[in-house]
Structure 1
Amino acid sequence: MSPHQVTIKDVAVRAGVSRAAVSLAVHGKPGISAPTRARILAAAGALGWQPAPGHPETGTIGFVIRRPAHQLGLEPFYMEFISGLQSEVSARSGALLLRLVRTLDEEIDLQRHWWRTRRIAGSVLVDFRAYDPRGPLLARIGLPAVAVAHPSLTGPFPALWTDDAAAVRAAVRYLAALGHRAIARVGGAPDLGHSTIRRAAFRAAMREAGLDADRQRDTDFSGAAGARATRSLLTAERPPTAIVYDNDLMAVAGLSVAAELGLRVPADLSLLAWDDSQLCRLTHPALSAMSHDIHAFGAEVARALYGVLAGDRLAARPVPTPTLIPRGSTAPPG
């Protein structure tokens, strides 16, 4: 068994003791006899296992996001997700170490540095690409981590994810049931795994409904890019009567573009957002959205990572699928 695969549970089994006894032994705490402590340390040495920095129930969690600082502040998803992470970390008297970087190489270097200098007990990994090098590279150094992505993308790390394909299908079927025949999608960064999943699901759902599946635009998730994509769609020879967005910020930008072009929402154009942050309720009309509890998602990811640090073998699992919340921005086409 290689060191990065070994957990506190493996040491406990080899030494014939509980995980609590292993924790006492390796952290030099009283409560076990000298022979038992020696047996546990010998088992840990034989397996090549070392405890994470800090107690596994209170350690520092690393979280790296590849975004410009000014853009992160505008993204409701990450604000809610970080809030959920922090709520669980604070409840355990732990700490959240957050860093913004621009490239994947920067993130890999930072994760390696944090782990080798024992700044963190483990990490939450997000924004997986279709072919992402972080899995094998970070697992090789023994970094404990939980991935937020479909397990087909995350390599050796346990994963929690939302079923984006099912949510996209629900969005398309809803708009088609309203009578829309020209439906478009404004997506996020094309190299991200969940963008690939949503793009394929949109194409499949549109073809299943007998509709043109080619009205899709890729962006960087920003409001400016969302506005440009919306303007491109609405000034095309065959403009859509409904648009699905990959986040709320772009949907709000799309609402502004519709007003700029003299289109009424929802009489002339239906708009459907994704994530259902407070932004969706502050617009006029209020935005229909694919809604999920992002704060709870963040908290669940933090709990899962603390479980991994404590020696649990976490099985990949989905969290609740986003559900449709109809509001004033969607209606049958005029």
Structure 2
Amino acid sequence: MARRPTIKDIARRAGVSQSAVSFALNGRPGVSEHTRGRIRRVAEELGWQPNSAARALSGERSGAVGLVLARPAHTLGVESFFLQLVSGIQEVLSAGRTALLFQVVEDIDAECAVYRRWWAERRVDGVLVVDPRTRDPRPELLAELGLPAVLIGGTGTPPGAADASVSCVWADDTRAMTEVLDHLHGLGHRRITHIAGLPGLSHTARRIASLRAEAERLGLPAAQVRSVTTDYSDTEGAAATRRVLAEPGPPTALIYDNDVMAVAGSAVAAELGIPVPGRLSIVAWDDSALCRVTHPRLTALVRDTAGFGRLAAEELLAVLAGAPPRARESELPRLEPRESTAPPPAAY
């Protein structure tokens, strides 16, 4: 294995002292501009890069930000949302030569433990926090540690979290759910079930509350418009679909909290001999290639998820540069009607 070049190697090649190399590479006075230029050329020839761990220990920035996902690992490989989110985050960070340290853990306690370890080791300059909880210990912990953070998917109430030291970027799930329900109600649907994501997540709670409030406004009985929580996986999405369609007076429309569950639900309907949209309409919360290649193509909420990631990364870099905490709203998702939604048959 090739040995990484050190300051000692640079000093030997340039014919100067190690302290002169340190001054030159760290932009400190003590060497002439001619010597500084020669040292930097030698460092580039040798392929030298600063040791981020050593820089962090000296009080300088690590040049990295962190992202921890506390979700079942089996749900991440098939869901496009996080891939698009991370691609947007990485686009901004790469331009600023900032690394992204990424880790998947089992639960929120493990996530908090990672933050404590990263802070103690000075591994990251700040963190991007996803999946806000209804009872979330993370903002308080991050404030206590003094670790800069941006909450992705907060409530939109400045600063977007319980503690004023945490910024947030958010999308209006409430208005998006209202648009979906209004679309289905306008088609004539009165029995609608929402196959929701993980219970305890703030956006799950907001979508459920919005569904109830809009159903009440439209005069729909609570028993006919309801939500069922899952873990976001195709397995639980399919199981929930099978369960609600087997009930007396089954729904004529289903709203799924992601694309994977919507496609799984469409497959269950086909297996049960229930035509889509002839007897059952389907809406996916997040649009993806899956929604567009499935037959029939699925009506879905379209949003720039990569743009959401870019906004979050830009906000974290701004916080690291000294900007005050704030809440920034991303563009409102728009409903894209496709072949999977239509009026229910008169008999239903």
1:89 matches 2:93: yes
* Separation in 1, partners of 2:75, 2:193: 24
1:223 is aligned with what amino acid?
Answer: D
Q: Who is 1:19 aligned against? A: none
Tell me, yes or no, if the aligned pair for 1:52 and 1:121 is still in contact at 8 Å.
no
Report the secondary structure of 1:275's partner residue: coil
Instruction: Work out the percentage of aligned pairs sharing the same amino acid.
Output: 45
TM-score by length of structure 1 reads 0.82
Shift of 1:70: 2.7
2:219 is aligned with what amino acid?
Answer: G
Shift of 1:168: 0.5
Aligned residues between the structures: 286
Q: Who is 2:234 aligned against? A: 223
2:321 is aligned with what amino acid?
Answer: A
2:218 is aligned with what amino acid?
Answer: A
1:154 matches 2:165: no
Q: Who is 1:260 aligned against? A: 271
In 2 relative to 1, CA 208–52 (structure 1 residues): closer, same or farther, beyond 3 Å?
farther
After superposition, the C-alpha distances for 1:201-229 in whole angstroms (9 at most, x for unaligned) are 00111111111334321101111111111
1:174 is aligned with what amino acid?
Answer: H
Tell me, yes or no, if the aligned pair for 1:65 and 1:99 is still in contact at 8 Å.
yes
* RMSD of aligned Cα (Å): 1.7
Shift of 1:62: 0.2
Matches within 5 A, 1:87-126: 87-126=91-130
Report the secondary structure of 1:313's partner residue: coil
Partner residue of 1:242 out of 253, 275, 291: 253
* Separation in 2, partners of 1:146, 1:163: 17
Tell me, yes or no, if the aligned pair for 2:156 and 2:329 is still in contact at 8 Å.
no
Matches within 5 A, 1:1-334: 29-30=27-28, 53-54=61-62, 59-148=63-152, 149-151=154-156, 154-156=161-163, 157-214=166-223, 215-334=226-345
2:210 is aligned with what amino acid?
Answer: A
After superposition, the C-alpha distances for 1:33-68 in whole angstroms (9 at most, x for unaligned) are xxxxxxxxxxxxxxxxx96624xxxx2110000123
In 2 relative to 1, CA 66–52 (structure 1 residues): closer, same or farther, beyond 3 Å?
farther
Tell me, yes or no, if the aligned pair for 1:206 and 1:213 is still in contact at 8 Å.
yes
* Separation in 2, partners of 1:280, 1:318: 26
1:160 is aligned with what amino acid?
Answer: V
Tell me, yes or no, if the aligned pair for 1:187 and 1:219 is still in contact at 8 Å.
yes
Report the secondary structure of 2:222's partner residue: coil
* Separation in 2, partners of 1:51, 1:68: 36
Shift of 1:317: 2.0
5+ residue gaps, structure 1, are: 1-26, 32-49
Per mean C-alpha deviation after superposition, the further-off stretch among 265-274 and 313-322 is: 313-322
Q: Which has the larger radius of gyration?
A: 2
Report the secondary structure of 2:61's partner residue: coil
After superposition, the C-alpha distances for 1:90-116 in whole angstroms (9 at most, x for unaligned) are 111111111000011110010111122
Report the secondary structure of 1:266's partner residue: coil
